[in-house]
Amino acid sequence: MTMLRSIFAFLLMIFVAGQASAQTKPERVIMLYIDGLHPDAIDRFELRTLAAMRTRGASAREGVMPFPAHPTIGAYGDWHTTSFPNVMALAGTAFLSERPVYLQHSFVNDGITLHAAGSRSYRSLNDGFDYTLTRGNVTDTALVDFYIKTFEHEGDVLFARIMLQETGNAGRLQSAQNLSNDPWSQDVFAPNSPYGVALRNADRQIERLREFLSSRGELDSTLFVLMGDGQSPHGWHLDLDPESARTPIVFDGPGIRTATEIDYAETIDVAPTIAALMGVRAPNSDGGSGRVLTSLITNGMSLTHPRPISRINVQIREHARLWARAVLAAAEDLAMNVLLMHLKHELLSDHQFYGPSRVMEWSEAGSLDDMIAANAWVNDALREALDRCVFPFATDKNH
């Protein structure tokens, strides 16, 4: 199944590249992130530049990112300094390795690449970029300045990832961690919230970036891709709040349908779609990789999305609740205690849950479909034990 998926992805990339070459191929790509950009914020705060990009280009009615955990300890933290969604979007896959192949590696021989982000958290994504600025307390204005100065110095920037950070900082510090009586405590959408102030400034900086490219005669040849980095309305990307996994996904530029809204997209789809539009190899084509969003490309085919990331996110949150209940029950119930032991022991059970703590092992499932099936078995077993006192102990495993 994984081999067939890879072959199909390769053929689809050739088809889309052919479609793009028949039209105007983008001359450069800018992946724009606004940390903490909730999809509802574009309209709530009347962000004119972002709204115009969404209206003019193609966007997803529902955009979903992988479970927005941000551990800095354990196997994941040994190699990655930012949250799951950032790594997975740039790699185009939910299956991570110690040193992933990222989208910027696809452009290494073709032109200048740049990474600008206002936090040290993104420094593990720097590999393969020619120019990097990933430091804390760098303003959104300074990040756009860094791009402009690099463009002027080099004459162009083929691929850039720009993460505007001030909005995320406002959501985390001024809302999520705010226990005062401020109206925006636990509510980023409150009137006059620091989150809204930061967002409007981010919108202005993106407009300034567009104005610079326009002054160079390069705006119409630039593909912009806009996403957020997870935002609960209560502040920050709280991983147990389903809202945190929602994000705008907007494509605006050459090769993209105009004034188009597709039903659904996942952030792991972005890298393979950009690669197809630019005629380069996708960074990954494994069992965890995303798909080319052909339905937002001019003359592209329309395909039904299987929504694997959305399904996995639901499973992870459900598992957290079930496991917590089971642990409390296991303190008094021997059978429940035995079941929990089985579900953490490969010699006693064929089924272990692929959760956030095992993200570096997700690839062992083989494919996202197989991972979903394994997770469903574990959650069903816990539910049966909790609700019906039925315990599916394995009998065919040798200890």
Q: Within a domain: residue 198?
A: yes
Whether residue 296 has pLDDT greater than 80? yes
Looking at 284, 303, 322, the residue that finishes a domain is: 303
Same domain, 29 and 76: yes
Q: What's the mean pLDDT when you consider all of the chain?
A: 92
Q: Within a domain: residue 395?
A: no
> Average pLDDT, stretch 176-183?
94
| Exposed / middle / buried, residue 203 (Cβ in 10 Å: 0-12, 13-18, 19+) | buried
Confidence (pLDDT) at 67: 95
Confidence (pLDDT) at 392: 83
Q: Within a domain: residue 133?
A: yes
Query: Are the CB atoms for 317 and 242 separated by under 8 Å?
Result: yes
Q: Within a domain: residue 377?
A: yes
Whether residue 20 has pLDDT greater than 80? no
pLDDT digits (tens, 9 = 90+) for 268-290: 999 999 999 999 999 999 999 99
Range of lowest pLDDT (84-88, 116-120, 157-161, 350-354): 350-354
Give DSSP secondary structure letters for 288-303: TB----GGGBTT----
The number of folded domains in the chain is: 2
Report the percentage of the chain scoring pLDDT > 70: 93
Confidence (pLDDT) at 393: 74
Same domain, 129 and 202: yes
Who's near 328: CB < 8 A, 6+ residues apart? none
Q: Within a domain: residue 393?
A: no
Confidence (pLDDT) at 398: 52
Query: Are the CB atoms for 375 and 319 separated by under 8 Å?
Result: yes
CA distance 338 to 268: 37
Confidence (pLDDT) at 5: 52
Closest CA to 280 of 28, 89, 84, 58: 28
Closest CA to 254 of 8, 28, 7: 28
Give DSSP secondary structure letters for 70-134: ---SHHHHTT--S-HHHHHHHHTBS---SS---GGGGGTTTS-EEEEESSGGGGGG-TT-SEEEE
Structure tokens at 263: 């039903």
Same domain, 266 and 338: no
Same domain, 15 and 109: yes
Structure tokens at 308: 């694997």
Query: Are the CB atoms for 59 and 262 separated by under 8 Å?
Result: yes
Query: Are the CB atoms for 250 and 55 separated by under 8 Å?
Result: no
Same domain, 121 and 88: yes
- Helix (H/G/I), strand (E/B), else coil: 256: strand
Looking at 286, 303, 320, the residue that finishes a domain is: 303
Find the CATH number of the domain harbouring 67. Answer: 3.40.720.10
Same domain, 200 and 109: yes
3-state helix, strand, coil in the chain (%, to 5): 50, 15, 40
Q: Within a domain: residue 278?
A: yes
- Whole-model pTM: value is 0.92
Same domain, 112 and 190: yes
Q: How large is the angle between the packed helices 194-215 and 140-154, nearest 10 degrees?
A: 10
CA distance 42 to 203: 9
Structure tokens at 372: 């979903």
Closest CA to 225 of 30, 5, 4: 30
Same domain, 191 and 126: yes
Q: How large is the angle between the packed helices 48-56 and 194-215, nearest 10 degrees?
A: 60
Count the Cβ atoms, other than its own, within 10 Å of residue 255: 24
Same domain, 192 and 219: yes
Looking at 303, 338, 358, the residue that finishes a domain is: 303
Confidence (pLDDT) at 21: 45
pLDDT digits (tens, 9 = 90+) for 39-55: 999 999 999 999 999 99
Q: Within a domain: residue 398?
A: no
**Alpha-carbon Rg of the chain, whole angstroms?**
22
Task: Output 24 or 81, whichever has higher pLDDT.
Answer: 81
Confidence (pLDDT) at 310: 98
Task: Output 212 or 348, whichever has higher pLDDT.
Answer: 212
Whether residue 395 has pLDDT greater than 70? no
Confidence (pLDDT) at 348: 82
Report the percentage of the chain scoring pLDDT > 90: 84
CA distance 264 to 383: 30
Strand 58-64 versus strand 249-252 pairing type: antiparallel
Range of lowest pLDDT (149-163, 295-309, 377-391): 295-309
Same domain, 41 and 78: yes
| Local confidence band at 22 (pLDDT 50, 70, 90 cut-offs) | very low
> Average pLDDT, stretch 241-250?
96
pLDDT digits (tens, 9 = 90+) for 114-154: 999 999 999 999 999 999 999 999 999 999 999 999 999 99
Same domain, 268 and 159: yes
Task: Output 12 or 236, whichever has higher pLDDT.
Answer: 236
Instruction: State which residues form the domain around 356.
Output: 309-388
> Average pLDDT, stretch 23-44?
94
Same domain, 8 and 105: yes
Q: Within a domain: residue 214?
A: yes
Query: Are the CB atoms for 226 and 56 separated by under 8 Å?
Result: no
> Average pLDDT, stretch 224-237?
93
> Average pLDDT, stretch 169-173?
93
pLDDT digits (tens, 9 = 90+) for 300-355: 777 899 999 999 999 999 999 999 999 999 999 999 999 999 998 888 888 889 99
Strand 222-228 versus strand 249-252 pairing type: antiparallel
| Structural element, H or E, at residue 54 | helix 48-56
